[in-house]
Structure 1
Amino acid sequence: MDHYDIIVIGGGPAGSTLAWSLEKSGKRVLIIDKQDFPRDKTCAGWVTPAVMDTLEIDQDNYARGRTLQPISAFRIGMMGQAPVDNDHGETVSYGIRRCEFDAYLLDRVNANKQLNTPVKSIEQKGRNWVINDTFEAPLLIGAGGHFCPVAKKLGHGPGSHETVVAAKEIEFEMTAAQASVCQARGDTPELWFCRDLKGYAWVFRKGNFLNIGLGREDSHKLTDHLNDFVDDMKAQGRIPADLPGRFKGHAYLLYAHAERPLVDEGIMLIGDAAGLAYTQSGEGIRPAIESALIAADVIRRVPDVSARNLQRYGEAISERFGTRALNDQSSWQIPDWVKLPLASGLMRSQWFTRKVVTEKWFLHQQVPPLESAL
């Protein structure tokens, strides 16, 4: 049996950031992931300057051989009506490819890694958690996304009654012919809200790569909405007529509506495994990064990994992201004053699309850096 102080299930941004943050703590950490890296990850793929700074990423170094698309504007609209273009006059975000970004974060971690290793069993023996009858540790971190086996162990995996947002997307490198007809701009991602406000679609060009997708709370209608959106974008010339391959799906929980417990005896959930995606946008990278850093800070401070001590993590998450406000009306936390029939007019407003949709909901510019909260 291989013994560790901490076992992290999931090598994505949450898991790798937690291990990275604990490197000087003297704790022996193991990261387990079912896939090898680099690997494809369904995600529109952009990060704010706050994320880059928090992760201490040297942008010049990162950009060598990787995609780092500066974003200085957004095109915001409601499907079926003209969009609004907002130029921020400076770089407000960066487009990344998750296959590169996640591998970069994991590669810089010195912890032991067991990749291409599905979790087949999780058992508690005494004070330790045992994974696959091979690895054991007193503290188990669930960082494996929405379908994380650690969350499932707590009774909140697939099949639970939580409301799930489903999305489909495709990312591919365009041919010269495709790039010549694609009107989407790299510095201006496009966000198109569904008319019922139950989701939104996007068109995001990152250099020669193009990412197209749509996410909604009612997954049974997802494909129809996606097909309609893609057909419309093709007709407008925003995207090439010939898209390669199939759209890939994924799922996640929005923070205000997730019901997953964040801790138990010797267990912590971080990132999408904990259901921390921002409620207004579904963006999950910054919450994943920050939850990992908050968890690492708690781990360094507590004398043991009892549920009572680890509850400090849950309290810190509430302080950072707010108290969850469950309701059965809508997964997307759209304020009442934005809802139909006002939404159509608001989505034509330069002020609203810039100050509320972009800067508040998607960029979270009003949220101070995490260092001030730790």
Structure 2
Amino acid sequence: MDDYDVIIIGAGPAGSTLATTLEGSGKRVLIVDKQAFPRDKTCAGWVTPAVMESLAIDPQDYGNDRTLQPIRRFRIGMMGQAPVENDHGDIVSYGIRRCEFDHYLLERTHCDKVLGEPVKSIEREGRNWIVNGRWQTPLVVGAGGHFCPVARLLGDGPGGHETVVAAKEVEFEMTPGQAETCKASGDTPELWFCRDLKGYAWIFRKGNYLNIGLGREDNHKLSDHLHHFVDEMKQAGRIPSDLPGRFKGHAYLLYNHAHRPLVDDGVLLIGDAAGLAYTQSGEGIRPAIESALLAAEVIRSAENYSEKSLQPYGAAIAERFGNRAEQHDNGWQLPQWIKTPLAGTLMRSHWFTRKVVTEKWFLHQQVPPLTAAV
């Protein structure tokens, strides 16, 4: 049986960032993921300059042989009414394909990796965890998304009482004919809020790739909402009339509504496994990256991996993202105060959609980037 100081379950952005940040600490790290990489990942797929800075990625270098769509504008509206379009001038975000982005981050790590093998068992033996009967470690880190098996160790895995966001989307490479007729512009993602403000849909073009999806705070009639939106966008010529393939589903927790503990004896959760997606937008890449950076700092300095020794991670998350216990907003994408008859008017305001919806809720421009501790 192989011994490791840390075993990370999940090789997405959170897991790979943690592994990379722990390099040089002297700790032996193993990443395990049920899928081989590169792999498809259901995600609209955009990252802010803050994420690129936190990961020390040079956009020019990354974009040499990968999809990197600069975003300078946003088209925002409420379904059933005309949208507004805001020009931010500078690049405020980048469109990426998760199959490329996640593989790139994983390739930068130099730890041991076991890919294409699902985690079937995590058992406690003394102070160690035995994973799949093959590896043992005093610390197992859950980085496997909403359905991460490590979350079950903390008694709050899938099927709990938390409000889960359900989404469906499709991403495909357009044919020359589709690309020519598609009205969606690469530098201008489109966000369309549901009239009940319980979710939103998006159209996001990344070069010749097109991503279309819709997410809501539950899956009640999710397909009906999606089909209605897609039909409207086809009629308006925003998207091709002949979409290929089927829409794939995924789920995640919003930060304000998640109740999962973040740590226990020998256990720590990061990224979507911890339920860290931004409440106002559902975006999870930046919280995943930052949680990994915060976790790495605590793991480096922890005397042992008891719950008490790991608790500074929970405190760091609360300091960075806010204290869940003090946030009483029951809304999903939007705070309760906007769920009024004024919502339609606000969504027609250039100032509101730019300064509040885009720059504050989606881009978090008011929050400086988090970088790895030296």
Q: TM-score, normalised by structure 2?
A: 0.98
1:255 Cα deviation after fit? 0.1
- CA distance in 2: counterparts of 1:54 and 1:324, whole angstroms: 24
Residue 50 of structure 1 corresponds to which residue in structure 2?
50
Call closer, same or farther: CA 1:249–1:333 in 2, change over 3 Å.
closer
Residue 166 of structure 2 corresponds to which residue in structure 1?
166
Residue 38 of structure 1 corresponds to which residue in structure 2?
38
1:371 Cα deviation after fit? 3.9
Q: Secondary structure at the match of 2:228?
A: helix
Residue 248 of structure 2 corresponds to which residue in structure 1?
248
Residue 269 of structure 1 corresponds to which residue in structure 2?
269
- CA distance in 1: counterparts of 2:82 and 2:281, whole angstroms: 21
1:153 Cα deviation after fit? 2.1
- CA distance in 2: counterparts of 1:2 and 1:69, whole angstroms: 42
Residue 339 of structure 1 corresponds to which residue in structure 2?
339
Extract structure 1 runs of 4+ deviating beyond 3 A: 325-331, 371-374
In the TM superposition, what whole-angstrom CA distance separates every residue of 1:116-168 from its partner, at most 9, and x where no partner exists? 01001000111111100001110100000000000022121111111100000
Q: Secondary structure at the match of 1:370?
A: coil
CA contact (8 A) 1:130 1:136 kept: yes
Residue 107 of structure 2 corresponds to which residue in structure 1?
107
Residue 2 of structure 1 corresponds to which residue in structure 2?
2
Residue 147 of structure 2 corresponds to which residue in structure 1?
147
1:373 Cα deviation after fit? 9.2
1:331 Cα deviation after fit? 4.6
Residue 135 of structure 1 corresponds to which residue in structure 2?
135
1:246 Cα deviation after fit? 0.3
Residue 237 of structure 1 corresponds to which residue in structure 2?
237
Q: Secondary structure at the match of 1:124?
A: strand
- CA distance in 2: counterparts of 1:329 and 1:286, whole angstroms: 21
Residue 59 of structure 1 corresponds to which residue in structure 2?
59
Q: Secondary structure at the match of 1:312?
A: helix
1:327 Cα deviation after fit? 8.0
Match runs of 1:1-374 below 5 Å: 1-325=1-325, 330-332=330-332, 334-371=334-371
1:215 Cα deviation after fit? 0.2
In the TM superposition, what whole-angstrom CA distance separates every residue of 1:255-277 from its partner, at most 9, and x where no partner exists? 00100000000110000000000
1:369 Cα deviation after fit? 1.8
- CA distance in 2: counterparts of 1:169 and 1:223, whole angstroms: 10
CA contact (8 A) 1:165 1:331 kept: no
CA contact (8 A) 1:258 1:326 kept: no
- CA distance in 1: counterparts of 2:161 and 2:301, whole angstroms: 34
Q: Secondary structure at the match of 1:220?
A: coil
- CA distance in 2: counterparts of 1:372 and 1:66, whole angstroms: 25
1:59 Cα deviation after fit? 1.6
1:201 Cα deviation after fit? 0.3
Q: Secondary structure at the match of 2:220?
A: helix
- CA distance in 1: counterparts of 2:234 and 2:13, whole angstroms: 33
- The letter of the residue matching 2:268 is M
In the TM superposition, what whole-angstrom CA distance separates every residue of 1:70-103 from its partner, at most 9, and x where no partner exists? 0000000000000000000110000000000000
Call closer, same or farther: CA 1:326–1:248 in 2, change over 3 Å.
farther
1:337 Cα deviation after fit? 2.8
CA contact (8 A) 2:293 2:372 kept: no
- CA distance in 1: counterparts of 2:152 and 2:227, whole angstroms: 32
- CA distance in 2: counterparts of 1:120 and 1:188, whole angstroms: 42
- CA distance in 2: counterparts of 1:127 and 1:317, whole angstroms: 25
Q: TM-score, normalised by structure 1?
A: 0.98
CA contact (8 A) 1:256 1:326 kept: no
- CA distance in 2: counterparts of 1:370 and 1:340, whole angstroms: 35
- CA distance in 1: counterparts of 2:326 and 2:250, whole angstroms: 22
- CA distance in 2: counterparts of 1:372 and 1:291, whole angstroms: 11
Call closer, same or farther: CA 1:280–1:12 in 2, change over 3 Å.
same
Q: Secondary structure at the match of 1:219?
A: coil
- CA distance in 1: counterparts of 2:162 and 2:332, whole angstroms: 14
Give the number of equivalent residue pairs: 374
Q: Secondary structure at the match of 1:279?
A: coil
- The letter of the residue matching 2:359 is E
1:339 Cα deviation after fit? 1.3
- The letter of the residue matching 1:258 is A
Q: Which runs of 5+ in 1 are unaligned?
A: none
- CA distance in 2: counterparts of 1:330 and 1:345, whole angstroms: 22
- The letter of the residue matching 2:291 is S
1:329 Cα deviation after fit? 7.5
Q: Secondary structure at the match of 1:30?
A: strand
CA contact (8 A) 2:280 2:332 kept: yes
- The letter of the residue matching 1:97 is R
1:220 Cα deviation after fit? 2.1
- The letter of the residue matching 2:46 is W
- The letter of the residue matching 1:75 is R
1:334 Cα deviation after fit? 2.3
- The letter of the residue matching 2:113 is K
- CA distance in 2: counterparts of 1:218 and 1:10, whole angstroms: 25
In the TM superposition, what whole-angstrom CA distance separates every residue of 1:223-242 from its partner, at most 9, and x where no partner exists? 00000000000000000000
CA contact (8 A) 1:204 1:210 kept: yes
CA contact (8 A) 2:163 2:253 kept: yes
CA contact (8 A) 2:143 2:273 kept: yes
